Structures are given as C-alpha cells and as structure tokens.
Amino acid sequence: MIQPEAKLILDISDLHVSVEGQNILKGVNLQIRAGEVHAIMGRNGSGKSTLAKALAGHPAYSVTSGRVDYLGKNLFDFDPEERARLGLFLGFQYPVEIPGVSNIEFLRVATNSCRKENGKDELDVFEFEDLVNDRLKIVQMDPSFLERSVNEGFSGGEKKRNEILQMALLDPVLSILDETDSGLDIDALRVVSSGVNQLSSQTNATVLITHYQRLLDEITPDFVHVMASGRILRTGGRELALELEQSGYEWVDKELQGGGDN
Amino acid sequence: MLRGDFLKSLPEPRGILRSVQIRGRDYLERFGLPSGKSEPWRITDLERLKTLLSRPFFLSRDENESNLIRSMAVPPSDGVRLVLSPSLQSIDDQKLPKEFRQITGADLERLLSSNIPNSASDKDWAIGLNQATAGTVLALRVKGCNPPPLELVAEAQLDRFSPSRVVLVLDSNTQLDLLEVILGKGCSAQSHFLEIHLAEGASLNHGLIALGGGEAGLLANVIVHQKRDSSYSLSMIQEGWSLGRIEPDICQGDGHAHTTLRGLQVSKGTRQVATHSKISFQGPEGTLDQLHKALVADKSHSIFNGAVEVPQIAQRTNAVQLSRNLLLSNNARVDTKPELEIIADDVRCSHGATVSELQKEELFYMRSRGVDTRQATKLLLQGYFQDILRSLPVEAERWSVLERLLESVGD
C-alpha cells in the first residue's frame, strides 16, 4: 500500500555495478517505502538479478558508483551477513544446494544470528522446533524437508518454499524475491504467493523480480518498474505489467534506440 | 639406508614374537628404508620417515591407563577398553567379557607367522617395521551372538617410538563393534599393526580414530581376511600427524562378502597424511563401497591410493570407489589415485575423484541469511565430516571427534 509519508526503507541513487569488469547496472534510481510492494520486470540480461545480488552484497558484484541508503545507513558499509541481520532478505532465483548441512540446523543458526542482532534471545533446539513448525504452515511445507540437507534434491517448488520459509523465520524489513515464480506450477505459485502476502505488512516492503504477469495476479504490486540495459526505463502501476503482457518489450528497443530516458 | 642405530637400539628378541622380530629385523636390515623411486613410497616425505626412526625406542610404561586417555573419553559403559602398550603383558581372561578369549600357544604362532613382507619389495615395509619392533601382541578371539563393543587405545609415548600389534579373530556369525583410537603427541612415533580374520557370516564394524598432535608420526597397517558372507566396515579418521600413513589391505578370500571403507583425512600446516587402501576380490560376487575424503589446508599434503584387484575368478563383483577432496588453500596439495586392476569381465566397478574448494556460492547463500563466514565454514565442514563420522561405531561419540576436527581446522 502506498503511503507517501511512510518510512523510507531503501533509497538507490545512480547505482552502477559491474561483474567481471563488465558494466551491468548503469544508473539505477529507486525508492522503496514501508508497506510497498514493487515489481521489477524486464528481459533476460536487463540487470534485474544483478541489482538483487548487488544489494545483498554478493562478492562478485562490484559497485563502481552511486549510493544506496538502507534504513538511513549506507548499505555498502555492511557485509552480506550484516545486511541480512539488518533485515535485508534475498530470495534466490536458484537456491543453492548445500550437501551435508542439515536444513533445520542451518535455519536455526540463521534465525539465531538475526535474533541476536536484534537483541532477542537465541532459541534452543526445542524452542526453534516450535517456531519452525508454526512457520511451515505459511508455505504448507512438509516437515520432512527440515531433516534433509539444505535444498539438496529438493524440486524447484520445494526450493522456493524453503526460501519463503527462511523469509518467514528471519522476519525481514525488505525482501527481494528474485524470480520466485520461476519453475513453479500453478498450485505451488499460489502457495508461495500466499506465503509472501501473509508476511507482507505496513512495516516491511517487498520487491518481486519476475518475467510474468502471472505472479502479479497473486501478489498485487503498488509499483511496476521495467528495467532495460541496466536502468529502470519506466515506472508505473499495475497496469504497466498488463501492458507488457499484451505488447511485449518491443517498445523498450524503440525507446533505447531513440535514446529515451526513464 | 636405515640407520644401524635404530636396529641396534631395539631390545633383544624374546617371547612369542621372537621369531617374527628376527625375521622383521632381517628384512629391515636387508632392505633399509623404502625408496622414493618405488610406487608405494614415491611421494612420501622420506626425510620425515627417517625422523620417526630416530626416536628412542620405548621400553616400559605404567600399565595403568594414562590420564590423557581418561580425560579424552570415559571408558565405554557397556563395553571393554584395553590400552595397548609396548610392554603389555597378558591380560587376565577373567577380566574379559565371556565372548572374548585370548589366543595363545600354537594358534597364536600360526597366526603370527603370516604376513612377512616380501624381501624384494618395500610394499609392506611398514609391516616389516612393526614386526621388527613389536615385542608384545594382543590376540583375541570373539564369538557369541552379542559381544559388548571393544575399544582399543594406543597412546604413543612422548618423543618415543612405540609399536603396537593386535590380532583379532571373529568366529562364524559373530558381530562386533571395534573402536581403535591411536593418540600421538609431541614427537611420538607409532607403528601399529592390526590383523583381522572374519569367519563365515561374521560382521565387524571397525572405527579407527587416529589423532596426532605436535610432530607426531604414525604408520598403521590393517590387514583383513574375509570369508564368505562376512561383512567388514572400516571408518578411518586421520588428523594431526606430521607424517601419517594408514594402509588397509582387505582380501575377500572366497568372494560373496561385503566391504565398506570410509576415510577422512584432515591436514594443515605442513603435515602429510596418506591412505593406501587395497582390496582384493578372490572369489565372485563380492562388493565394495568406498568413500575417501580429505580436507587439506595451508601447505599440507594429502595422499590417497586406492587399489582394487578383480581377477578372473571374481565375476559379478560390484565395487564403487570415490575420492572427494576439499582444498582450503592454494598451497595445499592432493595426490589421489585410483588403481583398478580388473581382469574379470562380468563386473561393475566404478571410481571417481574430485578436488574442490569451499563453494563460494554456498558461503554467500549462508551469509545472505545472516550467518557469518566463520559459522558458515563451520557448518559446511561439519557437513563434510559428518558424511564419514556417522559411519563410526556409536561408541565413538564419547571421543567428540567432530568437535576435535572442527577445532583443529579452526585454529
């Protein structure tokens, strides 16, 4: 929900990011306030995932210029784990499989790291079990996945449920969900979307990176941004996503060729 | 050449091992040190081997279990702990559970007379060294349907060379959990030789935990003879040795047997640890499931040689061998070599080897959930170790191996 006076969570100004010496983001500007849901759309290679990874602090992504304030602080002053503890959550497009590391142990260590940062008591094994069993309901996930290695052998849908389970446990301020809908069948998409909706509140914000309108039927965005060539080319409301669904991205090429700016 | 001083420093051959000692010393005298040109020792740090042999020979000790052993792990509550010592005298049979009996007399002599190294080869050099030096042997026969777990602990003496030798015979259909713990410290040097005979239908779950420290060195040999329908599972943990070498040599004499080998080496600093395993199928329808892992940090060096022999007679053998290595530093070194010699044509034998670093994407994923690099690394290593540790006999839990390994890597 848009509330112009709501707390500014993320303020991105003229962000430039490169990967292996190649400039990918070329001046991104974006403001996100509490209570808002943003969707970022765009073709493959337009820079959507780079933006997500750079914000989360992936070491392969170098910020070459620009500034990002998160909750009033310079985001780049913090390591990835510190950003997570401050409430920044990245839902991975391809959640990583970690053989040998028990999912529930990982979830407990992660949850306690964030709780500790926020002055809350760390949870012991039993307390954590109670919490995780409660949160499992949000994503309708089978408890047997807790006993397995992190994401190992999980189907695409199970991996995405596990991502939203982590989001539910870490209780983030800003969630950036990178193509959470990819690889999901329609039922799984509804479950995952319902989970995101349940976790959405007036004090947090969500960024959905997606290719498809389908997800936005389930989670209603307040803003839709179209990225191209490392910039946000156009920003609109939900109707922009519907327009894209109908007319595709050809207008993007024209705007880029015509030197159009956002 | 082997230092004459070393052989001269050994006590006079005596007791039941007298003839074995004489033959072992003859072998060492004739052969000298292993050659860097021969395959089994090609990449071994032979200077360190010489150093091990420069340690004064250990003659006597307090028969009581040392405080160190007790402080590391309390004795098993429902099992039996025996402490191996170069001056081990015979154990009172009355103190052993009823399923255990000491082997003596002609039976023992017959068992001891095998495994004399070929005088023209240094393949079994470490066995020759043990035979030349070991003055006592613990020889046990186990039978019965439910013997209590057996724990053998060999604690090397500070700055000394200590040999230990064990013979274990499992009668038909006997099942046993055996946990061996070898502890090194300071500049200790340990030569350990265990020989196992598994009768038909016998089953042994064998854990071998070798924890060194300081500049300690270890040469350990395990020879296993498996009869039909027997099952042998060995889980080896090797950590903390300046020069560590474990050589399991398993023979399925009649085929139709199962062997499981699990190995974990952890090395750092400039240490060198080696595992030379050999399994020989001398009959049809035997199986092998082997997984070897090594975590190699700093400038340390891990060696794995996995020999598998499948002669014509061993049809329908099913053998799987995998070597998975994790390098924590650019200066660390891994030499891993499967050696499959397959003559039989109707077999399934596979092998594979991987060398990798800690996965950056795994680390980032964990960091993005608020887990710092140190904790994330610990979780990843814990997962890596657990794969092997979970196959140790349950009694091993008292030794807190996981905690010790994590501490050793985290130092």
Domain assignment of residue A161, yes or no = yes
Q: Are residues B137 and B166 in the same domain?
A: yes
Report angle CA B385, B155, B136 to the nearest 5 degrees.
125
* B49: its two tokens: 């081997």
Q: Are residues B317 and B392 in the same domain?
A: no
Interface contact A84-B375, CB threshold 8 A: no
Q: What was the pLDDT predicted at B159?
A: 85
Distance CA B79, CA B174 (A): 16
Q: Are residues B297 and B368 in the same domain?
A: no
* A225: its two tokens: 């941004």
pLDDT digits (tens, 9 = 90+) for B227-246: 999 999 999 999 999 999 99
String of DSSP letters for B223-237? EEEE-TT-EEEEEEE
Question: B386: which chain A residues are within 8 Å (Cβ-Cβ)?
Answer: 100
Distance CA B207, CA A239 (A): 66
Interface contact B368-A57, CB threshold 8 A: yes
Question: A59: which chain B residues are within 8 Å (Cβ-Cβ)?
Answer: 360, 364
Question: B359: which chain A residues are within 8 Å (Cβ-Cβ)?
Answer: 96
Residue whose C-alpha is closest to residue A230's, from A192, A212, A256, A258: A256
Distance CA A21, CA A17 (A): 9
Q: Are residues B222 and B349 in the same domain?
A: yes
pLDDT in tens, chain A (262 residues): 778 889 999 999 999 999 999 999 999 999 999 999 999 999 999 999 999 999 999 999 999 999 999 999 999 999 999 999 999 999 999 999 998 899 999 999 999 999 998 899 999 999 999 999 999 999 999 999 999 999 999 999 999 999 999 999 999 999 999 999 988 899 999 999 999 999 999 999 999 999 888 899 999 999 999 999 999 999 999 999 888 888 888 888 888 887 544 4
- Domain tally, chain A: 1
* A167: its two tokens: 């989001």
Q: Are residues B328 and B213 in the same domain?
A: yes
Interface contact B384-A84, CB threshold 8 A: no
d(CA A262, nearest CA chain B) in Å: 31
Handedness of CA B94, B96, B99, B101 (dihedral sign): negative
Contact between B171 and B197 under an 8 Å Cβ cutoff? The reply is no
CA Rg, chain A, in Å? 18
A200: CATH: 3.40.50.300
Q: Are residues B253 and B382 in the same domain?
A: no
CA A59 to chain centroid, in Å, comes to: 17
Option in A102, A105, A110 nearest B369 (CB): A110
Distance CA B319, CA B311 (A): 13
Q: List all residues 6 or more positions away from B173 whose beta carbon is below 8 Å from its beta carbon.
A: B145, B199, B200, B201, B202
* Among B361, B377, B392, residue at a domain's last position: B361
Distance CA A55, CA B345 (A): 58
Which residues does chain B have with pLDDT short of 70?
1-4, 59-67, 87-90, 411
* B39: its two tokens: 């395959």
Q: What is the ipTM of this complex?
A: 0.95
Q: Are residues B333 and B374 in the same domain?
A: no
Question: A109: which chain B residues are within 8 Å (Cβ-Cβ)?
Answer: 371, 375, 379
Interface contact A106-B382, CB threshold 8 A: no
Interface contact A149-B368, CB threshold 8 A: no
Q: List all residues 6 or more positions away from A43 whose beta carbon is below 8 Å from its beta carbon.
A: A228, A249, A252
Helix locations, B37-187, DSSP H: 46-53, 67-72, 105-112, 125-133
Numbered residues of chain B with Cβ closer than 8 Å to any chain A Cβ? 359-362, 364-373, 375, 379-380, 382-384, 386-387
Residue whose C-alpha is closest to residue B295's, from B231, B387, B216: B387
Option in B361, B370, B382 nearest A81 (CB): B370
d(CA B91, nearest CA chain A) in Å: 43
Structural domain range at position B406: 362-411
Orientation of helix A125-139 relative to helix A103-117, angle to 10°:
100
Q: Are residues B267 and B405 in the same domain?
A: no
Structural domain range at position A173: 8-257
Q: Are residues B246 and B366 in the same domain?
A: no
Interface contact A101-B383, CB threshold 8 A: yes
Residue whose C-alpha is closest to residue B252's, from B289, B278, B276, B286: B286
Q: Which residue of A has its CA nearest to B390?
A: A100
3-state per-residue secondary structure call for B234-284: EEEEEECCCEEEEEEEEEECCCCCEEEEEEEEEECCCCEEEEEEEEEECCC
Q: What was the pLDDT predicted at A262?
A: 42
Q: Are residues B89 and B167 in the same domain?
A: yes
Interface contact B379-A106, CB threshold 8 A: yes
Interface contact B368-A59, CB threshold 8 A: no
Residue whose C-alpha is closest to residue A173's, from A75, A69, A78, A70: A70
d(CA B271, nearest CA chain A) in Å: 26
Option in A59, A105, A114 nearest B370 (CB): A114
Report angle CA A41, A47, A51 to the nearest 5 degrees.
95
pLDDT digits (tens, 9 = 90+) for A165-193: 999 999 999 999 999 998 889 999 999 99
Q: What was the pLDDT predicted at B282?
A: 97
Q: What is the DSSP letter of A68?
A: E
Q: Are residues B349 and B370 in the same domain?
A: no
Q: Which residue of B has its CA nearest to A176?
A: B368
- Domain tally, chain B: 2
Which residues are registered as beta bridge partners of A15? Answer: A28
Domain assignment of residue A206, yes or no = yes
Q: How many beta-carbon pairs below 8 A join chains A and B?
A: 76
Q: Are residues B271 and B385 in the same domain?
A: no
Q: What was the pLDDT predicted at B261?
A: 98
Mutation site for B-interface testing, chosen from A104, A109, A116, A147 by largest number of B Cβ within 10 Å? A109
Distance CA A20, CA A5 (A): 39
Distance CA B355, CA B335 (A): 10
Interface contact A95-B365, CB threshold 8 A: yes
Which residues are registered as beta bridge partners of B166? Answer: B138, B194
